Amino acid sequence: MFQLSVSTRDRILDTAERLFAEQGFHVATLRQITQEAAVNLAAVNYHFGSKQALMRAIFKRRLDALNTARMERLDAALRIDPPELEDVLDAFVQPALAFTRGGDAEGQRFMQLLLRAFADRDTDLHQAMRLEYAHVMRRFADAIGHALPDADPERLRQQLDFIVGALTLTMAESALKDTRIIAGELVRFAAAGLRAPIPTDAEQEARFSLEARS
């Protein structure tokens, strides 16, 4: 019933996730993965079908956990009506760095993996990721809309992409110990950006003519 040693399947998942994050999907080879996981080379194709399918399994495991954690914190933030903008942003940002039981290292690894998926624009993985992300993003965009009832919903969705970019790249890059502080900074930064009033057409025009002069 309770097996002490981790199953072959899980050892492959953990090792492959680490190596994919560190080196990238095409650089990490099945021979390297299976050797470091101390399993047979054929085990990957037996348990997952292919290298691609292994990658999909890795992503599904983490993305589900991340989405669930974000949703839970979002629900908590929405108990106040209208919700506090900072609480909504916290619900989005904080789970990204501590959603795994194993602590920060795993979370950061997955952010690196996520960044690679973003870079691989027209792969199955990219499509799958955006698909699983889509409804979470919509819920957060709606929640921000409730926190800022005067804002244009379309514009909010676009600005949410700014936050995703800042979060993903910064978390994938930064030193481990700083992530918690940086996450707080990002929430403050993003809240101010979202709250900023949009310039009038007249002000826009003034800026463009200024640029033309230079």
Partner DNA sequence: ACCTGATTCAAACAAGTGTTTCAATCATAC
Partner DNA sequence: GTATGATTGAAACACTTGTTTGAATCAGGT
List interacting residues with DNA (CB under 7 A): 7-8, 26, 28-32, 39-47, 50-52
Within 8 A by CB and 6+ apart from 131, the residues are none
Closest to a second copy by CB, 8 vs 174, is 174
Q: What is the C-alpha to C-alpha distance for residues 97 and 109, in angstroms, rounded to an integer?
A: 10
Cα 214 to chain centroid distance, Å, stands at 39
Q: What is the C-alpha to C-alpha distance for residues 138 and 130, in angstroms, rounded to an integer?
A: 12
Nearest-approach distance from CB 50 to DNA, in angstroms: 3
Within 8 A by CB and 6+ apart from 15, the residues are 33, 36, 37
First to last CA, the chain: 74
Closest to DNA by CB, 26 vs 177, is 26
The one among 30, 128, 148, 166 contacting a second copy by CB under 8 A: 166
Closest to a second copy by CB, 14 vs 120, is 120
Q: Which residues bind a second copy (CB under 8 A)?
A: 22, 24, 26-27, 73, 76, 86-87, 90, 94, 112, 115-116, 118-122, 155, 158-159, 161-170, 172-174, 182, 184-186, 188-196, 198-199, 204, 207, 210-211, 214
